[in-house]
Amino acid sequence: MKELAPGVFQLSGFPPNAINVFLVDDVLVDAASRHAGRRILRQLEGSEVSAHALTHAHPDHQGASHEVCEKLGLPYWVPEQDVPAAENPKLIRELQPSHPVAQFYDRIFTGPGHKVDRALKEGDEVGSFKVIDVPGHSAGHVAFWRESDRVLILGDVLNNMNIMTGIPGLHEPKPYLTPDPARNRESARKLAALEPAVVGFGHGAPLRDTRKFVSFVEGLPV
């Protein structure tokens, strides 16, 4: 694991930074694909983990959630509007755009559903972080924000790599994986207004350049 900020760690994956998982204080944030359970559990050995939270219920974020929660006995915390999809992953496919890439990701990444123990809402506390509602990429997408040192875990509101080529750089999530791109841009602007100092992405390396993040968002279509 790599420490991004006090109490915030990014788990390693392959390829590096492709599908990211974080340990935020004692809460595991996201769980990659259904093939990632063993890797996640191995890296958590020796760490105190009290809960598992999602930024959103998509195949590459909830894939190993059931396995991790079952094996570690963790409560499952999911954004309120994504609870149905987290418990019944067949709904993920129905809520995603009808596109071959979305269908492919669903087939290879989606993991079993798992009963949600806590529905996350804006303003809720997750460790030392607060929940921010940032819908668009999914109906209930949330980010986690710590104001004291301006650390942001934003899921897929933006990516810091091209998910098809792996080339680094800021991008909007692909429209064929995003039910409401216009609303997602509104969410990106909401996060840019915070001027984060450290940003952890669902896809791509962490970013420590506030100006670059804010400028990219300012250049998005209105």
pLDDT in tens, 92-136: 999 999 999 999 999 999 999 999 999 999 999 999 999 999 999
Q: What is the pLDDT of residues 144-192, one digit of tens each?
A: 999 999 999 999 999 999 998 999 999 999 999 999 999 999 999 999 9
Using CA atoms, how far apart are residues 161 and 136, in angstroms rounded to an integer? 19
Give the pLDDT score at 222.
Answer: 84
Q: Please state the rounded mean pLDDT for residues 191-214.
A: 98
Give the pLDDT score at 14.
Answer: 87
| 171: Cα within 13 Å, side-chain hemisphere | 19
Q: What is the mean pLDDT of the chain?
A: 97
Q: Are 120 and 130 in contact (CB under 8 A)?
A: no
Using CA atoms, how far apart are residues 186 and 23, in angstroms rounded to an integer? 27
Q: How far is CA 90 from CA 58, 78, 137, 177, in A?
A: 11, 16, 17, 16
- Using a cut of 0.85, tell me whether the model's pTM lies above it: yes
Q: Does residue 77 have a pLDDT over 90?
A: yes
Q: Does residue 16 have a pLDDT over 90?
A: yes
Q: CB atoms < 10 A from the CB of 218, how many?
A: 10
User: Taking CA 20 as the corner, what is the angle to CA 43 and CA 16, rounded to the nearest 5 degrees?
Assistant: 80
Say which CATH number the domain at 36 has: 3.60.15.10
When comparing pLDDT for 86 and 14, which is higher?
A: 86
Q: Are 34 and 64 in contact (CB under 8 A)?
A: yes
8-state DSSP, 183: H
Q: How far is CA 174 from CA 124, 163, 166, 169, 187, in A?
A: 28, 8, 13, 14, 15
Q: Please state the rounded mean pLDDT for residues 8-27.
A: 96
Structural domain for 179, as ranges = 2-218
Q: Does residue 91 have a pLDDT over 90?
A: yes
Q: CB atoms < 10 A from the CB of 89, how many?
A: 23
Strand segments, DSSP code E, in 32-97 are 51-53, 76-79
The total of structural domains in the chain comes to: 1
Beta partners for residue 78, in sequence order: 119
Give the pLDDT score at 127.
Answer: 94
Q: Please state the rounded mean pLDDT for residues 10-25.
A: 96
